[in-house]
Chains A and B, each alone.
Chain A
Amino acid sequence: MTMANWFYFASPSTFYRLAGRTAPLFFALALVLGAAGLYEGLVVAPTDAQQGEVYRVIFIHVPAAWMSMWIYFVMACYGGLSLVFNTRLAAMMARSLAPTGAMFTFVALWTGSLWGRPTWGAYWVWDARLTSELVLLFLYFGFIALANAFEEPRRGDRAAALLALIGLVNLPIIYFSVKWWNTLHQGSSVSFRGTSMHVTMLASMLLMALSFWMYSIGTSLVRVRSIILERESRTQWVRGLAA
Chain B
Amino acid sequence: MNAAAAALAPAPVRASFAGGFAWAFARDLRLTLRHPGETLLVIAFFILVASLFPLGVGAEPQLLQRIGTGVIWVCALLAAFLSLPSLFAGDYADGTLEQMALSPHPVSAWASGKVAAHWVASGLPLTVLSPLLGLQYGLAPDTLGVLALALLVGTPVLSLLGAACAALTLGARGGGMLLALIALPLFVPILVFGAGAAEAQAAGLDPTPHLSILAAGLLVALVGVPAAVALAIRIALE
Q: Which residues of A contact B (CB under 8 A)?
A: 83, 135, 138-139, 141-142, 145-146, 149-150, 154-155, 158-159, 162-163, 165-167, 169-170, 173-174, 177-178, 180-181, 184
* Distance between Cα atoms of A149 and B192 in the complex (Å): 30
The reply to whether A167 and B235 form a contact with Cβ atoms under 8 Å apart is no
Residue of B nearest to A148 (CB): B173
Residue of B nearest to A178 (CB): B192
Contact A173-B189, Cβ < 8 Å, known A142-B181, A145-B178, A184-B196: yes
Residue of A nearest to B217 (CB): A173
Interface segment out of the listed B37-45, B51-59, B122-130, B164-172: B164-172
The reply to whether A177 and B178 form a contact with Cβ atoms under 8 Å apart is no
**Given the complex, which residues of B lie within 8 Å of A169, measured CB to CB?**
224
The reply to whether A162 and B172 form a contact with Cβ atoms under 8 Å apart is no
B: contact size bracket? 20 to 34
8 Å CB contact of A162 from B168, B171, B188, B200: B168
Query: Mask for B214-236, Cβ within 8 A of A = 1, else 0?
Result: 00010000001000100110011
Contact A177-B189, Cβ < 8 Å, known A145-B182, A162-B228, A166-B228: yes
15 other contacts beyond A135-B185, A146-B178, A154-B238, with CB at 8 A cut-off?
A: A142-B182, A149-B174, A150-B172, A158-B235, A159-B232, A162-B232, A163-B165, A165-B228, A167-B186, A173-B189, A174-B189, A177-B189, A178-B192, A180-B196, A181-B192
Contact A166-B192, Cβ < 8 Å, known A150-B171, A150-B172, A159-B168: no
* Distance between Cα atoms of A162 and B168 in the complex (Å): 8
The reply to whether A177 and B181 form a contact with Cβ atoms under 8 Å apart is no
The reply to whether A174 and B188 form a contact with Cβ atoms under 8 Å apart is yes
Residue of B nearest to A140 (CB): B185
The reply to whether B185 and A159 form a contact with Cβ atoms under 8 Å apart is no
**Given the complex, which residues of B lie within 8 Å of A177, measured CB to CB?**
188-189, 192-193
The reply to whether B188 and A146 form a contact with Cβ atoms under 8 Å apart is no
A85 to chain B, nearest CB (A): 15
**Given the complex, which residues of B lie within 8 Å of A170, measured CB to CB?**
186, 189
* Distance between Cα atoms of A167 and B182 in the complex (Å): 9
**Given the complex, which residues of B lie within 8 Å of A155, measured CB to CB?**
171, 235-236, 238
Contact A142-B185, Cβ < 8 Å, known A149-B169, A159-B168: yes
A132 to chain B, nearest CB (A): 8
The reply to whether B181 and A138 form a contact with Cβ atoms under 8 Å apart is yes
The reply to whether A138 and B185 form a contact with Cβ atoms under 8 Å apart is yes
The reply to whether B235 and A149 form a contact with Cβ atoms under 8 Å apart is no
Residue of A nearest to B170 (CB): A159
